[in-house]
Amino acid sequence: MEFDLMLLCLMAAEEHGQKGEALLRPRGHHRPTYGPQALKPLRKIWAIMDFPCGRRLKAILPKIIPKLEAFGETELEPETRKLLMRISGVDGR
């Protein structure tokens, strides 16, 4: 028997005392933090590092960016470099 995923979520929420309508509310839209000027080098670094998860990528970025720049693997604008150095480990979009 197939169940609709939303129905299963609503049923699980009700079992745990949560209101099901909270699951149906649309999420707020956030302004993008990282533009194409940051995403392109971030994707390259992510691939070079063998696609680590966001938390591991966040931890390694401050160490790897200077090394990649020293070896000529990437050239970053100062603003882009600053964005990548303070990237959130959970965000990583």
- The whole-model pTM stands at 0.61
pLDDT for the residue numbered 92: 42
29 falls within a domain: no
When divided into structural domains, the chain yields a total of 1
Look up residue 66 and give its amino acid.
Answer: P
Q: Nearest to residue 4, comparing CAs of 20, 19, 28?
A: 20
Structure confidence by residue, pLDDT tens digits, 12-60: 666 666 555 555 555 666 677 778 888 889 999 999 999 998 889 999 9
Please enumerate in sequence order all residues whose Cβ is within 8 A of that of 86, keeping only pairs 6 or more positions apart, or say none: none
Asked if residue 42 lies in contact with residue 55, where contact means CB atoms within 8 angstroms, the answer is no
Residue 87: pLDDT band with limits 50, 70, 90: confident
4 falls within a domain: no
> Where do we find the tokens 């197939």?
2
Q: Is a pLDDT exceeding 80 seen at residue 75?
A: yes
Residue 90: pLDDT band with limits 50, 70, 90: low
25 falls within a domain: no
16 falls within a domain: no
* Cα–Cα distance, 3 to 73 (Å, whole number): 49
What is the span of the domain harbouring residue 49? Answer: 36-85
91 falls within a domain: no
10 falls within a domain: no
20 falls within a domain: no
> Where do we find the tokens 């000529």?
72
